[in-house]
């Protein structure tokens, strides 16, 4: 292959494992080259293995009810679940409803969450979304994607997490881990989180959709790590399509 064409091909493969619009630092681990599409039987096999290994996967964001889940997800943007949990453990003791959050007020809320990145903006959003929940939704977290997305600080991923974890809907929230796993494995290659989300929804059998989001997140967080994937202990290493897998 001429040098120029090879360079362009490599660049496109690297970009395809990272959400469009993010930094495109070169990384071996971010390539996504899909040689052969997955068969329905193979997809089923993957989720049967995840299910067998962890029948009831749990999200790691601590919460007490749909409202505190919503707040935790809004706070978790560009932050770790562990960091959010450290802050919300105390916060939710005093503010576990929209009304109590408003009574706490933005200034005191900021004190509880100041260890979390972008906390000033997040505090503003949490107060504004609490207000909107009271004004427009009777103090309850709504059950539709459009309504959740209308809340300050809540986007599509937030809506998908809340719908799935609070209301048992078959949604697929795509965070950085799910995005990487979807691309590397070849299960659902896509240049944007939305492409990966729709790709996964299309291929995952309905019976696995309730937990699929957590299985994929946990797989990305603990096995298919960004820099050094642990292919040697990976449950699906025989099926994974990533050309750089180490087994």
Q: Which residue numbers are catalytic?
A: 157, 175
Q: CA-CA distances (angstroms) from residue 133 to 62, 137, 141, 213, 221?
A: 21, 5, 7, 26, 32
For tokens 């509880």, name the residue.
Answer: 112
The residues, ordered by sequence, that sit 6+ positions from 71 with a Cβ below 8 Å of its Cβ are 63, 88, 91, 92, 101, 126, 129
229 forms part of the interface with ligand SF4 (CB under 6 A): yes
Question: For 71-110, b where at least 16 C-beta lie within 10 A, e where not — what string?
Answer: bbbbbbbebebeebbebbeebbeebbbbeebbebeeeebb
Q: Quick one: which segment of 70-78, 92-100, 105-113, 221-229 binds ligand SF4 (CB under 6 A)?
A: 221-229
The residues, ordered by sequence, that sit 6+ positions from 215 with a Cβ below 8 Å of its Cβ are 47, 50, 51, 54, 57, 208
The residues, ordered by sequence, that sit 6+ positions from 62 with a Cβ below 8 Å of its Cβ are 72, 85, 88, 89, 92
Contact 138, 191 (CB under 8 A): no
Q: How far is the CB of 183 from ligand SF4 (least distance, A)?
A: 10
Query: Please, which residue, 69 or 216, has the CB nearer to ligand SF4?
Result: 216
223 forms part of the interface with ligand SF4 (CB under 6 A): yes
Contact letters (x/-) for ligand SF4, 139-178, by CB under 6 A? ----------------------------------------
Q: How far is the CB of 197 from ligand SF4 (least distance, A)?
A: 18
For tokens 């989720």, name the residue.
Answer: 47
68 forms part of the interface with ligand SF4 (CB under 6 A): no
Neighbours of 226 (CB within 10 A): 16
128 forms part of the interface with ligand SF4 (CB under 6 A): no
196 forms part of the interface with ligand SF4 (CB under 6 A): no
240 forms part of the interface with ligand SF4 (CB under 6 A): yes
Q: How far is the CB of 20 from ligand SF4 (least distance, A)?
A: 21
Q: How far is the CB of 234 from ligand SF4 (least distance, A)?
A: 3
Q: How many residues bind ligand SF4 (CB under 6 A)?
A: 13
Residue of 184, 213, 214, 221 interacting with ligand SF4 (CB under 6 A): 184
Q: How far is the CB of 181 from ligand SF4 (least distance, A)?
A: 6
> Which residues of the shown chain bind ligand SF4 in the complex (CB under 6 A)?
184-185, 223-224, 229-231, 234, 236-237, 240, 242, 245
């Amino acid at each position: 292959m001429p040098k120029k064409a090879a360079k362009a091909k490599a660049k496109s493969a690297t970009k395809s494992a990272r959400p469009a619009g993010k930094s495109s630092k070169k990384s071996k681990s971010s390539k996504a080259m899909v040689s052969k599409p997955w068969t329905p039987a193979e997809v089923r096999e993957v989720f049967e293995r995840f299910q067998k290994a962890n029948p009831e996967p749990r999200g790691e964001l601590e919460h007490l009810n749909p409202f505190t889940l919503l707040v935790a997800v809004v706070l978790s943007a560009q932050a770790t679940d562990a960091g959010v949990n450290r802050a919300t453990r105390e916060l939710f003791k005093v503010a576990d409803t929209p009304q109590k959050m408003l009574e706490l007020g933005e200034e005191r809320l900021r004190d509880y969450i100041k260890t979390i990145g972008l906390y000033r903006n997040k505090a503003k959003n949490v107060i504004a979304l609490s207000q909107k929940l009271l004004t427009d939704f009777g103090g309850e977290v709504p059950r539709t994607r459009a309504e959740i997305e209308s809340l300050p600080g809540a986007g599509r991923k937030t809506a998908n997490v809340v719908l799935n974890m609070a209301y048992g809907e078959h949604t697929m929230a795509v965070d950085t881990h799910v995005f990487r796993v979807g691309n590397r494995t070849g299960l659902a290659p896509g240049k944007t989180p939305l492409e990966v989300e729709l790709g996964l929804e299309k291929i995952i059998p309905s019976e696995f959709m309730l937990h699929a989001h957590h299985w994929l997140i946990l797989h990305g967080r603990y096995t298919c790590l960004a820099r050094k994937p642990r292919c040697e202990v990976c449950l699906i290493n025989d099926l994974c399509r990533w050309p750089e897998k180490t087994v």
